[in-house]
């Protein structure tokens, strides 16, 4: 059993670029096992997120344990927390929640006025988002940036979307709007 106290969740930087291939391999393997969609990202893209300090990485004594990154859309009006992944060895100990809380806090620090959104098919991610103050929304309340929606084309579920005339997606849209305080559950996220 892994000792969770030995895992640190930090803002990624140049020193973490060595984990990029492992991060992407872990994301791809998890998507295949779950049979769920996820937009594919290139190694260069993930490296850039680290260099911009728009990512967090979880490490256990130097070993990769988890990851997530920030994407900005619609002239920084919207921010998405994406690519949340935990390596198999570190699942079941609450690490995804720690990573989610840290990337959420980083998003709020970097973009305090931005709406933070998520598209997911996973119940666990929905629960984490709800605890942070996200609420379910229709897609028209999210970014209209065409570059974001083009990212859906690399999702395994995109063919389902196309076959149904673009009217059905398996994801649920969730939104955290800093101006809608009635939805806030844990605006002052602590930890990490």
**Using an 8 Å Cβ cutoff, are 177 and 134 in contact?**
no
Instruction: Identify whether 22 is part of a domain.
Output: yes
Q: Among candidates 100, 6, 102, which has minimal Cα distance to 60? A: 6
pLDDT given at position 167 = 46
pLDDT given at position 51 = 98
What are the tens digits of pLDDT across the range 79-89? Answer: 999 889 999 99
- Look up the CATH number of the domain holding residue 16: 3.40.630.30
What is the Cα–Cα distance from 39 to 156, expressed in whole angstroms? 8
What are the tens digits of pLDDT across the range 93-134? Answer: 999 999 999 999 999 999 999 999 988 878 888 899 999 999
**Using an 8 Å Cβ cutoff, are 59 and 65 in contact?**
yes
∠ CA 72-73-75, nearest 5°, is 100
Percent of the chain past pLDDT 70, that is, above it, reads: 80
Instruction: Identify whether 192 is part of a domain.
Output: no
What are the tens digits of pLDDT across the range 31-78? Answer: 777 655 566 789 999 999 999 999 999 999 999 999 999 999 888 999
pLDDT given at position 168 = 55
Instruction: Identify whether 189 is part of a domain.
Output: no
Instruction: Identify whether 9 is part of a domain.
Output: yes
pLDDT given at position 142 = 85
Instruction: Identify whether 191 is part of a domain.
Output: no
Q: Which domain holds residue 123?
A: 4-183
pLDDT given at position 187 = 47
Domains: count for the chain? 1
pTM for the model stands at 0.84
What are the tens digits of pLDDT across the range 135-185? Answer: 999 888 888 777 777 766 666 665 554 544 554 567 788 999 998 855 555
């Amino acid at each position: 059993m892994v000792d969770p106290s030995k895992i640190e969740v930090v803002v990624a930087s140049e020193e973490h670029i060595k984990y990029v291939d492992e991060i992407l391999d872990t994301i791809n393997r998890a998507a295949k096992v779950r049979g769920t969609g996820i937009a594919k990202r290139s190694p260069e893209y993930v490296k850039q997120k680290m260099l911009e300090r728009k990512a967090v990485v979880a490490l256990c004594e130097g070993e990769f344990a988890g990851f997530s990154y920030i994407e900005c859309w619609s002239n920084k009006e919207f921010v998405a927390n994406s690519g949340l992944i935990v390596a198999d060895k570190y699942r079941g100990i609450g690490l995804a929640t720690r990573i989610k809380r840290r990337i959420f806090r980083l998003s709020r620090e970097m973009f305090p006025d931005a709406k933070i959104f998520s598209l997911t098919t996973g119940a666990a991610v929905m629960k984490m988002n709800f605890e942070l103050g996200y609420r379910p929304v229709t897609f028209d309340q999210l970014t209209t940036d065409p570059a974001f929606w083009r990212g859906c084309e690399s999702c395994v579920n995109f063919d389902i979307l196309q076959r149904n005339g673009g009217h059905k997606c398996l994801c649920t849209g969730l939104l955290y709007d800093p101006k809608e305080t009635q939805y806030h559950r844990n605006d002052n996220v602590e930890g990490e």
